[in-house]
Amino acid sequence: MNDLLTLMKSELIVTIIIIFLLFTKVASKEWSNESLLNFINFLLLINLVAGFFFQKDGVLFNDMFRTDKLIVLEKNILNLGLLIISLLAHGWLKKHRHMPEFYILLLSTLLGMFFMISAGNLLMFYLGLELSTIPLAALVNFDLEKRQSSEAAMKLIISSAFSSGFLLLGISFIYGTTGSTQFNGIAQHLDGSPLQVFAFILLMAGFAFKISAVPFHLWTADVYEGAPVAITAYLSVISKGAFFFVLVSVLYSVFNPMSETWYRVVLILSVLTMLVGNLFAIRQNNLKRLLAFSSIAQAGFVLVGISGSSVAGTASVVYFILVYIFSNLGAFAVVAVISSQTGKENISDYKGLYAANPFLSCILAISLFSLAGIPPTAGFFGKFFLLIAGAGKGNYIFISIAALNMVLSLYYYLVVVKAVFMDSNESPIEKLTVPVFPKISMIICLSGIVVTGIAGWIYDYIYSLSQ
């Protein structure tokens, strides 16, 4: 019982918050939206802080749930991201009728991811996956008045159902060929026969869909564009990050016997993803859409790191996700503030932003530089370590392609920077007052971007956990 409390603490805390919200929604009415929102943020903060205590390795429910320091860290990273998002979405949520439901759904998806990360069993993995997907579809639709929002939700739910169909087919074949749904049980019975390869590819397609790797990525841009900014951020950072964590552990531990196979799959996916993501991003005008494609390209880079299949691989991926949360959320924070106050989301609207809003511009620019991997921002270190991990396999053509893609990606980030700093605009965005909560989130992201890279011990810590 004591075990249960310590090992599943994150899940339990989140569940408690969910139930609390249910009651506030159903029973009590005296909460004003504003104060409730602040209280929720406070709870999320507690959740984040609590994550760092009582760290313990162990398994529960006969290996359906397992946890260790790395998993706890991953959950904390997700918590952090959630907190930042909830801060940056503050302005939008204040006005929203269904704010508590928003948090209920959001937290349940987070719960799903937690279970998925610490799943020791394909069943738990599948359940966590669905739990983190189905409510998200509802969340994407949370701009109830906007046509695009419901279109995006439709696209998400249908294509994810479709992909989970294939995922299940894959799982069924794995079950059929190995006779187990336990991860370690599967690992023993893998023999790399064609059917298993096929099953793996189906499973991998499910993953690729979630991390939006080419050619399973097509839903991404549309959904990101249609969804509320907060949810776009959530999709692009939290859910993607969670799936990367799972992917790493699944590939490294479960499919270790088929490492050669999955290395090739990852290689192909990675190259395609980087190229296509960048090529599409080049000609975007909607900033959310551009960030969508950029996040696709980033996924390609993460796959490079994963392909390393080493401790360095795990560490670099986790580290990069951390960095990526800061960088991407920094950008989204600016987008959220601007779109919630002016409704403008196009790059052409951002022209001459710096003149009136230097603070927002600098945050945006720094985040974009971090995404592009420019020192001294943390993004540079993230990319560097990913590529080092990938280079461990000695496939330098692959690494060169990745490196050149970094150059390609730099282009569209610089286009945004150019618009913000250099271009002139007859009707620029006027001076905006940034509310306190979004400002806090921006500060967090900024400090994260600056500190995470330079402070070497962070990476070392992650590395030590990954062993």
Partner 1 sequence: MNEIPLTHILFLSTALFFTGMYGLFTRRNMITMLMSIELMLNSVNINFVSFNKYLYPDKLDGIFFTIFIITIAAAEAAVAIAIIINLYRSHQSIDVEDAGEMKY
Partner 2 sequence: MSAYAIIFYLLSVFILVTGILAVSTRKIFRSAIFLLFSLIGIAGLFFWMQMEFIAAVQVVVYAGGIVVLIIFSIFLTQQSGKELQKPTRSRIFFSLLSVIAGFVLTYFLIQQYSFQPTSATATAVSVSNIGTQLLSTSEHGYILPFEVVSILLLASMIGCIVIAMKVES
Partner 3 sequence: MPHYTYIALIPILPLAGFVLLGLFGRRYFSASSGIIGTAILSISCLLAFYTAYQYFFEGGNVNGHYQQIIAMKYTWLQFSSNVSVDMGILLDPISVMMIVIVPFISLMVHIFSLGYLKGEERFATYYAFLGLFTFSMIGLVLSANIFQLYIFWELVGISSYLLIGFYFDKPAAVAASKKAFIVTRFADLGFLVGILILSFHAETLDFQTLISRLTSQSPQFLNITAASFLGISALTWGLVLVFIGGAGKSAMFPLHIWLPDAMEGPTPVSALIHAATMVVAGVYLVARLFPVYALSDPGALKMVMYTGAFSALLAAVIACTQTDIKRVLAYSTMSQIGFMMFALGVSKYGGEEGLGYMASMFHLFTHAFFKSLLFLCAGAVIHLVHSNEIKNMGNLRKIMPITNICFLVGCLAISGLPPFSGFFSKEEILHAAFQADKFIFSIALLTSGLTAFYIFRLYFSIFYATTSSPEPLHPVSSNHGEGTLTMKIPLIILAICALLAGFVPFANYVTSDGDPLKTNLSIGFSIAPLLLAVTGILLAKWLYQKRNNGPEKIAASLGGLYKAAYKKFYMDEVYIFLTKKIIFNLVGRPAAWIDTNIVDGSVNLLASFTGAVSERIKTVQSGKVQQYALYFFAGIAGLTVLLIYVWKI
Residues that bind partner 1 (CB under 8 A): 122-123, 126-127, 130, 134-135, 137-138, 141, 144, 146-148, 150-155, 157-158, 161-162, 164-165, 168-169, 171-173, 175-176, 179-181, 221-222, 225-226
Rounded to whole angstroms, the Cα distance separating 281 from 17 reads 38
Q: Identify whether the C-beta of residue 210 lies closer than 8 Å to the C-beta of residue 246.
A: no
CA distances to 207, 243, 264, 269, 461 from 167, rounded to whole Å, are: 8, 14, 19, 17, 34
Q: How many of the chain's residues bind partner 2 (CB under 8 A)?
A: 39
Q: With respect to partner 1, which residue has the nearer C-beta, 18 or 399?
A: 18
Closest CA to 429 of 366, 364, 367: 364
- Is residue 358 part of the contact set for partner 3 (CB under 8 A)? no
Tracing tokens 């994810």 back to the chain, one arrives at 160
Q: Identify whether the C-beta of residue 395 lies closer than 8 Å to the C-beta of residue 403.
A: no
Query: Min. distance of Cβ 269 from partner 3 in angstroms?
Result: 8
Q: With respect to partner 1, which residue has the nearer C-beta, 158 or 403?
A: 158
Rounded to whole angstroms, the Cα distance separating 348 from 370 reads 22
- Is residue 112 part of the contact set for partner 2 (CB under 8 A)? yes
- Quickly list H helices, 308-434: 311-342, 353-356, 358-372, 378-391, 396-421
- Is residue 177 part of the contact set for partner 3 (CB under 8 A)? no
And the tokens for 11? 């899940």
User: Which one of 51-59, 275-283, 331-339, 350-358 is the stretch in contact with partner 3 (CB under 8 A)?
Assistant: 275-283
Q: With respect to partner 2, which residue has the nearer C-beta, 4 or 399?
A: 4
Query: Min. distance of Cβ 360 from partner 1 in angstroms?
Result: 26
Q: Identify whether the C-beta of residue 348 lies closer than 8 Å to the C-beta of residue 426.
A: no
Rounded to whole angstroms, the Cα distance separating 359 from 354 reads 8
User: Which one of 110-118, 278-286, 337-345, 349-357 is the stretch in contact with partner 2 (CB under 8 A)?
Assistant: 110-118
Rounded to whole angstroms, the Cα distance separating 350 from 335 reads 10
- The entry of partner 1, partner 3, partner 2, none near residue 60 (CB within 5 to 8 angstroms by kind) is partner 2
Q: What single string gives the DSSP state of each residue in 401-443?
A: HHHHHHHHHHHHHHHHHHHHHT---SS-----PPPHHHHHHHH
Tracing tokens 């909830």 back to the chain, one arrives at 86
Element (DSSP H or E) covering residue 67: strand 65-67
- Is residue 279 part of the contact set for partner 3 (CB under 8 A)? yes
- Is residue 156 part of the contact set for partner 2 (CB under 8 A)? no
Rounded to whole angstroms, the Cα distance separating 320 from 280 reads 23
- The entry of partner 3, partner 2, partner 1, none near residue 68 (CB within 5 to 8 angstroms by kind) is none
Query: Min. distance of Cβ 130 from partner 2 in angstroms?
Result: 6
Rounded to whole angstroms, the Cα distance separating 437 from 164 reads 37
- Is residue 254 part of the contact set for partner 3 (CB under 8 A)? no
> 253-292: which residues touch partner 2 (CB under 8 A)?
none
CA distances to 3, 66, 85, 270, 283 from 182, rounded to whole Å, are: 21, 12, 34, 28, 45
Q: With respect to partner 2, which residue has the nearer C-beta, 115 or 243?
A: 115
- Please pick, from the candidates 13, 119, 221, 365, the single residue that binds partner 3 as defined by CB under 8 A: 221
- Is residue 192 part of the contact set for partner 3 (CB under 8 A)? yes
Query: Min. distance of Cβ 152 from partner 3 in angstroms?
Result: 10
Q: With respect to partner 2, which residue has the nearer C-beta, 33 or 395?
A: 33
- Is residue 404 part of the contact set for partner 3 (CB under 8 A)? no
Site string for partner 2, 115-154 (x = CB under 8 A): x-------xx--xx-xx--xx-xxx-xx-xx-------x-
- The entry of partner 2, partner 3, partner 1, none near residue 111 (CB within 5 to 8 angstroms by kind) is partner 2
Q: Identify whether the C-beta of residue 443 lies closer than 8 Å to the C-beta of residue 359.
A: no
And the tokens for 74? 């991953």
**CB proximity list for 416: less than 8 A, separation 6 or greater:** 287, 290, 347, 350, 364, 368
Positions in the binding site for partner 2 (CB under 8 A): 15, 18, 60-62, 64-65, 98, 101, 104-105, 108-109, 111-112, 115, 123-124, 127-128, 130-131, 134-135, 137-139, 141-142, 144-145, 153, 176-177, 179, 193-195, 198
Q: Which positions lie near partner 3, rule CB under 8 A?
A: 154-155, 158-159, 162-163, 166, 192, 194, 197-198, 201-202, 204-205, 208-209, 214-216, 218-219, 221-222, 260-261, 264-265, 268, 276, 279-280, 282-283, 408
